[in-house]
Amino acid sequence: MRYHYGELAVATGDFSNENKLGRGGFGSVYQGNIVQILDGSTKHVAVKKFASETSSQGRKEFESEVRIISRLRHRNLVQLLGWCDSAKGLLLVYELVPGGSLDKHIHNNSRLLSWSERYRIIMGLGSALRYLHREWDQCVVHGDIKPSNIMLDSSYNTKLGDFGLARLATTGLTPEPP
């Protein structure tokens, strides 16, 4: 789904620091709320805003994420909901995963992840990779798996995100039967 820049600016409080979730190599991620036109409900989203001085590599990452992840559907992948490509900037809109990234949980000295939570996380990541490498139409190589790109919901279910470096492999791998 294509969004207008103004709609995403309103949703994120004009990309305010209070709504900033983090910063990466090509821009920042903000949380926001988008009101659904059809039923008036509110959808919680994460908006990745590419830096205004986005390089050609940043543009390639934007296009790669839109081209590849917009077609992927799996319970362990962060869902791309839409994008904005305007003169004011390049933005990607994702579902907001409420538990934050794995790196924040790893570096939380006040609470260690239990063994069952760790198991759930690694099994979810394995399921996402199996889907990307074997179960989807083409083999997708993520290219940037690290704790900050592994999101966790409130039940510690894994959602792999940030497909900016993802590539379609041309290795001739064929999907395995389930």
Q: Return the active site residues.
A: 144
Q: Tell me the pTM.
A: 0.86
DSSP the chain: -B--HHHHHHHTTTT-GGGEEEEETTEEEEEEEEE-TTT--EEEEEEEEE-TT--HHHHHHHHHHHHHHTT---TTBPPEEEEEEETTEEEEEEE--TT-BHHHHHT-TT-PPPHHHHHHHHHHHHHHHHIIIIISSS-EE-----GGGEEE-TT--EEE---TT-EE--S---PPP-
Per-residue pLDDT of the chain (178 residues; tens, 9 = 90+): 889 999 999 999 999 999 999 987 778 999 999 988 788 889 999 999 988 765 677 788 788 878 888 899 999 999 999 999 988 889 999 999 999 999 999 998 899 999 999 999 999 999 999 999 999 999 999 999 999 999 999 999 999 998 888 888 875 555 555 5
According to the annotation, is 159 in a ligand binding site?
Answer: no
